[in-house]
Amino acid sequence: QKEVEQNSGPLSVPEGAIASLNCTYSDRVSQSFFWYRQYSGKSPELIMSIYSNGDKEDGRFTAQLNKASQYVSLLIRDSQPSDSATYLCAVGPGKLIFGQGTELSVKP
Amino acid sequence: DAGVTQSPTHLIKTRGQQVTLRCSPKSGHDTVSWYQQALGQGPQFIFQYYEEEERQRGNFPDRFSGHQFPNYSSELNVNALWLGDSALYLCASSLWGVDEQYFGPGTRLTVT
């Protein structure tokens, strides 16, 4: 059974700080890795995808992948109250296996 | 550029009834996947359709079935509804062979 694990949180950070979200996965043959943001009562929104080891940056977001450690993370720099949401880690290929999500709260 | 659309937005059904949910993928996409998201949990994969065929299926009973039409839109059918089927049902569209999936707004199903 393929598994994706995330700390459920809540993770609370002050405005302007760096938020660090972590995810581990069990299936070594996983090839694609995604971070989705889900606001309360809304559907998940794709914010980052990463396919190879290392870092990928997009604006204030950086995804990091370490396939040897089966670990993927998301850093959010200069966190804003509007970043408060649940962040879902998902692993592919094909059908996506999701973690349970980490709730992030950014305090003004 | 139209995104993924789903209908209806909300639905209330009684135990034992049947329900049909609908999804239209994002323009240019040809693959539709369905997920079930219970409150406080991550989405769980139900099945995926491409070229009008079910290509992958998750750990869901046969009460869950689907269909894809020639215009790539899709339906999810659930028979003999249980209370435990109450959830947010999400449709995700993608291009076959490309893993990035984009979700629609979802259908909130409540079974009483």
Mean pLDDT of chain B: 97
Residue A25 confidence (pLDDT): 96
- For residue B84, report the phi and psi dihedrals to the nearest 5 degrees: -70, -10
Mean pLDDT across B34-52: 97
Closest residue to A95, CB basis, from B33, B102, B105:
B33
How far apart are the CA of B107 and the nearest CA of chain A, in angstroms?
A: 10
Contact A25, A70 (CB under 8 A): yes
- For residue A52, report the phi and psi dihedrals to the nearest 5 degrees: -130, 160
Looking up tokens 């339906």, which residue turns up?
B75
Residue A98 confidence (pLDDT): 97
d(CA A65, CA B22): 35
Question: What residue of A is the nearest CA neighbor of B97?
Answer: A94
Residue A2 confidence (pLDDT): 76
Question: What residue of B is the nearest CA neighbor of A30?
Answer: B99
List pLDDT tens digits, range B54-89.
999 999 999 999 999 999 999 999 999 999 999 999
Closest residue to B99, CB basis, from A42, A93, A101:
A93
Mean pLDDT across A102-106: 97
Neighbours of B71 (CB within 10 A): 8
Model confidence at B1, in pLDDT bands (50, 70, 90)? low
Closest residue by Cα to residue B109 from B7, B4, B5: B7
How far apart are the CA of A46 and the nearest CA of chain B, in angstroms?
A: 7
Residue A9 confidence (pLDDT): 85
d(CA B58, CA B45): 5
Contact check, Cβ <8 Å, A94/B41? no
Residue A7 confidence (pLDDT): 85
Polymer length of chain B: 112
d(CA B21, CA B11): 9
Mean pLDDT of chain A: 96
